Amino acid sequence: EVHLVESGGGLVQPGESLRLSCGASGFTFQDYWMSWVRQAPGKGLEWVANIKQDGSETQYVDSVKGRFTSSRDNGKNSLYLQMNSLRAEDTAVYYCARWRKREVWSLDSWGQGSLVTVSS
C-alpha cells in the first residue's frame, strides 16, 4: 500500500524559511515523478511543484518560482520542499502526492498534509 507522510510544517514569520519533508513507502519511489499541492484555509487546491524521478527536472507554479525548491533523495525515499522568503499567502496545508502516468497524468496517492502558517 502506498504511504506518504509529510512533516516539517509550522508557524513562521514573513520572510523566513521552512523545509517540508515527505517520506514514501509501499512503492518504488525512484520510479515516479512526485508533486506538491497546497490548500489555503477554506480554499481550493493549488498545484505547486513537480519533480522528475531522478530530480533532474522540476516544474513550479509561477507564484513560488525563485522561492521554493523541490528536491528528493531516492536512497531515503524522501521528497523535500524548501520554502524561502515565505509570505502570508503561502499559508496552507501542503500535500505531497505521487504523479503517475496512466494514459494521462494524475495524482493517485496523497499524504495527509502538513500545515504551514506564515504570520507575524
Residues that bind other proteins (CB under 8 A): 37, 44-47, 50, 59, 61-62, 95, 102-113
Least distance CB 49 / other proteins (angstroms): 10
Least distance CB 76 / other proteins (angstroms): 22
Least distance CB 66 / other proteins (angstroms): 15
- Which H or E element spans position 83? strand 78-83
Query: What is the DSSP secondary structure assignment for residue 74, as one 8-state letter?
Result: G
Cβ atoms within 10 Å, residue 106: 12
**Closer residue to other proteins in complex, CB, 75/104:** 104
> What Å distances lie between residue 20 and 41, 69, 93, 105, CA to CA?
18, 10, 11, 24
Buried b (16+ CB within 10 A) or exposed e, 73-87: eeeebbbbbebeebe
Least distance CB 96 / other proteins (angstroms): 10
**Closer residue to other proteins in complex, CB, 29/111:** 111
**Closer residue to other proteins in complex, CB, 75/102:** 102
